Structure 1
C-alpha cells in the first residue's frame, strides 16, 4: 500500500446516524478469544442501525492501527463490501455469500482475527454507507477499496475493541 491517504484505513469519525456495535464486546472493551486469529478466528457478531435512506450498499473494514510500529503499516483484518443496506447485522462466523470480501494482511480472503505481536492493540470495526455498489473483485486490497469508496461515503461509524496476546 502506498503512503497516500486511504479512506478505508483512516478513522471512521462519526458521520450521520449510522451505528455499528457488537454484542460480543462493548466499545473499547476486550474482544473475546473466540474472535482472535489464534483462537476461534471467527468474526464477532455485529449490529447495524441508522443506515441512511440513500445508501445503496455498505462496506466494512476491520483494521489495527497499533500495528504501525511492529508491522510498519495499519494491519487489515477484514474487508467486506456490497453489503445490503437493509441488513441489520452480521452474524458470528459469517460466510458472506451476498457480499464481497477482500484480502487481509494475512494474505487470506475473509476475516483474520486479532493477533498482536507486542501487547494490547486496538481494533477498529468501521462501517461505511455508500451511494453505490462497488465493482471490485473478490480479494481486492484495502488500497483498492479505499480508492473505490472515496467520494461515495454518505455515512460512517466505528466501534473499537482491544486484544492482548
Structure 2
C-alpha cells in the first residue's frame, strides 16, 4: 500500500522530494547523452567542411561539369550504346571545390544514375558509382574513357558495381524515351568505408544517404535507342 502511494505521489513529502530529484537528474543525464550523440554525428559528417572554410567566410560550393556537354543538353552518342557498335567511352568530368580547402581527410564520391529508368526497371538505375576519390586539390579531373583504368581515375578511386551488377561505367541506353541522366559528385568524410556503399543497387538509396552532403550536379539527356541498335550492341 505504501509503495502504491509513493508511485502515485501520495506518500510523505520527503519521499516525494527524493523521487522528483532523482527523476530530474535522470532526465538531465538522458538529454545530455542524446545531445552529445547528435553533436558527434554532426561533427563526423561536417568536420571536413566546417574546419576548412576559407577566412573570407564564403559558403562552400562544388561545381561539376563536363567538357563534352553543357548541363541539361544531350550527351554525345559515343558515351552511350549508340556508339556505332563500339564499346562506349565513359564520360569525362571535372569538378571544382570553392570555399573550403581540399584535404586528405576528405574524399569525393561520384554517382551517375537514371531516375527515368524507374518506370522501366523499377530501379533508379546506377550507371556509374565511384567512391574514395582523394581530394588533395580543389579541382579534380576524370578524363574520357577513364573507367576501368586506375591510371586515369583519381587517386584512391574504387569503382563499385552498377545496377547491371558489373563494375564501372554502364552506358546510357534508354529503351522507351529520352532519359535524363544525373551525375553527382559529393564530398564525404574519409571515415566512410567501402562496406557502407557496396550493397546498393537502387540510386534512390544512395541519394537518400547523401542528404546534407556538399554536392555538385550535372544533368545530360540521352535519346531513346531503338531495339535494333540495342540488339547490335548486345551481340
TM range (shorter): 0.7 to 0.9
Matches within 5 A, 1:149-160: 150=210, 153=213, 155-160=214-219
Structure 2 distance, partners of 1:111, 1:150, is 20
Q: CA deviation at 1:81?
A: 0.6
Quick check: which one's helix share is greater?
A: 2
TM-score by length of 1: 0.78
Quick check: which one's strand share is greater?
A: 1
Give the counterpart of 2:80 among 30, 36, 59. Answer: 36
Q: Which residue of 2 aligns with 1:9?
A: none
Question: How much is the aligned-residue C-alpha RMSD, in angstroms?
Answer: 2.7
For these two proteins, the number of residue pairs brought into alignment is 149
In structure 1, runs of 5+ residues without a counterpart are 1-14
> What SS does the aligned partner of 1:34 have?
helix
Which structure carries more relative contact order (alpha carbon 8 Å, separation 6+)? Answer: 1
Larger C-alpha radius of gyration, 1 or 2?
A: 2
Give the counterpart of 2:193 among 114, 135, 143. Answer: 135
Q: Which residue of 2 aligns with 1:50?
A: 97
Q: Does 1:89 align with 2:148?
A: no
> What SS does the aligned partner of 1:161 have?
strand
Q: Which residue of 1 aligns with 2:56?
A: none
TM-score by length of 2: 0.56
In structure 2, runs of 5+ residues without a counterpart are 1-58, 151-155, 226-235
> What SS does the aligned partner of 1:88 have?
strand
Structure 2 distance, partners of 1:134, 1:121, is 31
